[in-house]
Chain A
């Protein structure tokens, strides 16, 4: 009997449950698809560090389950509010509170179970798409193939039960505590409107701004500290900024509302008076929720942008970081023969098609190193670039770090001649070349290098030696650890240049492109996917909260709109008012996150834009972030608007 009643109740309350059901389904779908991805043996086998993705997704799933449980609690409060009269009727008919509670839990169990099953199904489909995206990133041949994992399924069920169980526990305790009289007459209670004075609101607003400025100063300080103390500074700064954002979002709407009401021209224009009343009520009842949503959206947008941009930036810069198949860099005055054994070691494992052993020469009194023209051309040849020539009294600069190019150009225009060991050299006809050569370890260490005629270079001290190799099929990732092991073992005996000594600490670097590519892609995948996972779910949760907040006041709103209907406000005007009201409520929490995101995009472009080797990358991912966010946000807004309009504009008898 009760099961039948529960089913009927669900069918009847479909309107109230739809957003709740969609949110639960989406959360389960995203959770399953990301967990399936993070736990997929195929994905994990792609690189040795791929477990980073699993760890990231698991940690985020715990956080998401925790946050979702609050949203479910919120949704439950909304549903209980909608059904107060029904529960009162059950109680008056003699149904025990325990039975009512069980009825509600059965209903929600059916909804939750349905949402989980549907979510897992959608998630399985989605996992196929995510799988394809990852395969595509790693340039592995792929077809659409769903990822079905019992482990992922079990973990999703665990997290889902955890978050849903918390919501249900809360619902049970609310039902137990409610009195019949409250259930019967709660919706007849007057809405109490009361705000702080304008002066007090302004003062609190100013104080919040001061707190935010303090937070930014602290953050700036923290970013310049190299010790663990930085964490303390940054943590404190984030806390101050979030408190300020929360308080500002509580005060700004109040300030705007009070200011609008002070101006009779604005207040009495058309239906503004009614609109202001509606908004005042929203600010009063949902101010805290909107401020919390603001914080969630701020975290979502920044996480999504940082995740996508940093991930893509990582990938874009990868080619420049690893232009050589394999390379060994040793900052010590060794003879070129020292590198022969290293080359032989590699040759035994992988065919070496070409190799170059060369020095990065020290230029006395300058913070720049030099390459001899022949070594430089050899490197160009390995990289597939054409050779260059300069005469015996010329030099050129190679700089693949494009933010230094303008500066070098200017300096060369001011001073086109240099004197080394008594010989004056003039800048070549094409004084700067910019092809990617990896200039922070292999072809220089500052992002640029001087290219000198062989005769001039050979007179300079060669204190840093390099070996680069072109390997058949590009080598393999494990070569890096094998090389490292070899160089640190007693098998390799470095030969020191005559009259030189080994430095106390010898810096040694090994690069293997195959390893680098795999790990860069892992970093890219982990950053991007974790960023997306967290932010999409946070956006969905925030939107759900906003939607429930609106729908929970739908009956009160219906009454208010019925009043203006009788006062002669047309249906079209009412639709426009509903749109304006909902837009305002959905827009207020967006104020800070959008401003911050725009600043973040502009700031990232300004500070790091030049570091990304793909032009327009920051702006592109900034746009992707905003568009993805808008798509989810507008869908929820549209659904809320649809339900709101449907209920409020339901024909009033006529």
Chain B
């Protein structure tokens, strides 16, 4: 397995002069191809900032991020669009689907932007929709389908170009438990059957239990990381809960 993502001493500060907020203090880690990594942490721990820096939406204050050997922090404004097209897939909490297009067209949009020949598009959309079990809603508009279906559509759009890395920001945040379960199974299946590399930010232990490895952030640094290994999902879930209990505060915090 090769290394898809590598972060070296990432720092991210907001503000200036006497009013500086350190969102990320010093983070380094790497992700192997085909891995499903979860990032957890309390609000303000730096999860979303980290994801934004990896996804080229935000810039780091110091450090380097390598995606498939390319230093993301060195990419110019002009190269960003092409870089995103070729390397990244996004899934957001609020789906970010276009109300103006049908489910099928929302998925096809990613292909047209990547200049896939028109004749191949419908076939590929149907195939991907089949994988995510949304074939019967392809001709509907986003407002006509459930939240879970919308998020599966967003997943389909994120992976249809087979990006090097799929970034998911609280993908189950707006879903009920049943829809969350279905979506997470779908993401897991994408990871296992299609070999997609996934980096998922979540604050929900149940969602995180679908990952192979979890990084826990606290105050802008990696507090700890745990691996699923050969454990069952239930065992892994309990381990996550244990860590979360710990991340709530350290001994030093108790007076």
Q: Specify which chain A residues have a CB less than 8 angstroms from the CB of B56 in the assembled complex.
A: 654
Q: How far is the CA of A278 from the CA of B100 in the complex (A)?
A: 6
Tell yes or no: B18 within 8 A of A by CB.
Answer: no
A270 near B105 (CB under 8 angstroms)? no
Q: B86-120: which have CB < 8 Å to A?
A: 86, 88, 90, 96-101, 105, 108-116, 118-119
On whether the beta carbons of B143 and A191 are closer than 8 Å, the reply is yes
CB-CB under 8 A for A568 and B113, given A190-B143, A274-B98, A281-B100? yes
- What per-residue 1/0 map shows which CB atoms of B119-136 lie under 8 Å from chain A? 101100000000000000
A265 is an interface residue with CB less than 8 A from chain B: yes
Check B138 for interface membership: any CB of A closer than 8 A: no
Whether the pair B99, A653 counts as a contact (CB closer than 8 A) is no
Contact A270 B112, beta carbon cutoff 8 Å? yes
Q: Which of B59, B82, B96, B109 contacts A273 (CB 8 A)?
A: B109
Which B-chain residue is minimally distant from A194 (CB atoms)?
B141
- Say yes or no: is B52 at the interface (Cβ < 8 Å to chain A): yes
| Closest residue on chain B to residue A265 by CB atoms | B118
Name B100's closest neighbour in chain A (CB-CB): A277
Which chain B residue lies CB-closest to A568? B85
> Is B57 in contact with A273, judged by CB distance below 8 angstroms?
no
Q: How far is the CA of A565 from the CA of B109 in the complex (A)?
A: 12
Q: Which of B57, B97, B119, B157 contacts A264 (CB 8 A)?
A: B119
- Of chain B, the residue at the smallest CB distance from A574 is B81
CB distance from A280 to the nearest CB of B (A): 6
With both chains docked as a complex, state the minimum distance between the C-beta of A252 and any C-beta of chain B, in angstroms. Answer: 19
Distance in angstroms between the alpha carbons of A274 and B97 in the assembled complex: 11
Whether A411 sits at the interface, judged by CB under 8 Å, is no
CA distance in complex: A567, B142 (Å)? 18
Kindly provide the distance from the CB of A137 to the nearest chain B CB, expressed in whole angstroms. Answer: 52
The reply to whether A567 and B100 form a contact with Cβ atoms under 8 Å apart is: no
> Which residues of chain B come closer than 8 Å to A652, judged between CB atoms?
57
**When chains A and B are docked, how far (Å) is the Cα of A447 from the Cα of B88?**
81
Q: Is the CB of B81 within 8 A of A653?
A: no
* Smallest CB separation, B46 vs chain A (Å): 15
With a CB–CB cut-off of 8 A, which chain B residues contact A269?
A: 112, 118
Is residue B58 contacting chain A, with contact meaning CB distance below 8 A? yes
Cβ B57 vs Cβ A567 within 8 A:
no
Known: A568-B84, A654-B56. A264 touches B121 (CB 8 A): yes
Report whether over half of chain B's contact residues are helix, strand or loop; otherwise say mixed.
helix
Given A269-B112, A273-B109, A654-B59, CB of A567 within 8 Å of CB of B77: no
Contact yes or no, A569 B113, CB < 8 A: yes
A651 nearest in chain B by CB position: B77
The digit string for A160-194, where 1 denotes a CB below 8 A from any CB of B, is 00000000000000000000000000000011110
A268:B78 contact, CB within 8 angstroms: no
0/1 interface trace, chain A 218-229, chain B, CB 8 Å (1 if under): 000000000000
Question: How near does chain A come to B90, taking the closest CB pair, in angstroms?
Answer: 5
Q: Encode contact with B along A590-621: 1 for CB under 8 Å, 0 otherwise.
A: 00000000000000000000000000000000
Residues of A within 8 A of B55 (CB): 566
B57 & A653 in contact (Cβ 8 Å cutoff):
yes
Q: Determine how close the nearest CB of chain A comes to the CB of B181; give it in whole angstroms.
A: 24
Knowing A277-B101, A280-B100, A654-B59, say if A567 contacts B141 (CB, 8 Å): no
Interface hub of A267, A273, A563 (most chain B Cβ within 10 A): A273
Name the residue of chain A whose CB is nearest to the CB of B141: A193
Residue contact A653 to B112, C-beta cutoff 8 Å: no
Q: Is the CB of B100 within 8 A of A193?
A: yes
Provide the main secondary structure of the chain A interface.
helix
Contact A272/B112 with A192-B143, A193-B141 known, Cβ cut-off 8 Å: yes
A570 near B: Cβ within 8 Å?
A: yes
Cβ-closest chain A residue relative to B59: A654
CA distance A569 to B59 in the complex (A): 19
Given contacts A564-B113, A653-B58, are A273 and B101 in contact (CB under 8 A)? Answer: yes
- Could you say which residues of chain B place their CB within 8 Å of the CB of A573? 81
Do A568 and B82 touch (CB < 8 A)?
yes
- Asked if A584 is an interface residue, CB under 8 A from chain B, the answer is no
With A190-B143, A193-B99, A563-B98 known as contacts, the answer to whether A654 contacts B58 (CB < 8 A) is yes
Are B112 and A281 neighbours in the complex by a CB distance under 8 Å?
no
- Contact flags B54-81 to A (C-beta < 8 A → 1, else 0): 0111110000000000000000011011
A409 within 8 A of B: no
> Among residues 132 to 154 in chain B, which have CB atoms less than 8 Å away from a CB atom of chain A?
141-143
A143 at the interface (CB under 8 A from B): no
Report chain B residues within 8 Å CB of A268: 108, 111-112, 116, 118, 121
Q: A residues within 8 A CB of B108?
A: 268, 273
Output the least CB separation between B75 and chain A (Å).
11
In the complex, what distance in Å separates the CA atom of A273 from the CA atom of B114?
12
If A560-B98, A563-B98, A566-B90 touch, whether A273 touches B52 (CB-CB below 8 Å) is: no
Q: Which of A193, A281, A559 has the most CB of B within 10 A?
A: A193
The listed residue (B78, B110, B122) touching A567 by CB distance below 8 A is B110
> Which of B113, B119, B121 has the most chain A CB atoms closer than 10 A to its own CB?
B113
Residues of A within 8 A of B142 (CB): 190
- From A192, A277, A563, A567, residue with most partner B Cβ within 10 Å: A567
How far, in Å, is B36 (CB) from chain A's closest CB?
Answer: 21
> Please, which residues of chain B bring their CB within 8 A of the CB of A190?
99, 141-143
Within 8 A of B (CB), among A537-583: 556, 559-560, 562-571, 573
Q: Are B81 and A570 in contact (CB under 8 A)?
A: yes
Which residues on the A side are within 8 Å of B85 (C-beta)? 567-568
Q: How far is the CB of B140 from chain A (nearest CB, A)?
A: 11
CA–CA, A137 and B99, complex, Å: 57
CB pair B81–A191 under 8 Å, yes or no, is no
Q: Which of B211-254 contact A (CB under 8 A)?
A: none
The closest CB in chain A to the CB of B109 belongs to A273
Does residue A381 face the partner (Cβ distance < 8 Å to B)?
no
Q: Does A271 contact B (CB under 8 A)?
A: yes
Provide the residues of chain B in CB contact with A277, threshold 8 Å. 98, 100-101, 105
Distance (whole angstroms) from the CB of B156 to the closest CB of chain A: 13
Assembly CA distance A265 to B120 (angstroms)? 10
Can you list 29 A-B pairs, Cβ within 8 angstroms, ordered by A? Answer: A191-B99, A191-B100, A192-B143, A193-B100, A193-B141, A264-B119, A268-B118, A270-B112, A270-B115, A273-B108, A273-B109, A273-B112, A277-B98, A277-B100, A277-B105, A560-B100, A562-B96, A563-B97, A564-B109, A566-B55, A566-B96, A568-B85, A568-B114, A570-B78, A571-B81, A652-B57, A653-B58, A654-B59, A654-B80
Where the two chains meet, the residues of A that have a C-beta atom closer than 8 Å to any C-beta of B are 190-193, 264-265, 267-274, 277-278, 280-281, 556, 559-560, 562-571, 573, 652-654
Q: A192-B143, A281-B99, A567-B109 are in contact. List 13 more A-B contacts (CB 8 A).
A: A191-B143, A193-B99, A193-B100, A278-B100, A559-B96, A560-B98, A567-B110, A567-B113, A567-B157, A569-B81, A571-B77, A573-B81, A653-B57
A-B residue pairs, 3 tightest by C-beta = A568-B85, A190-B143, A277-B100
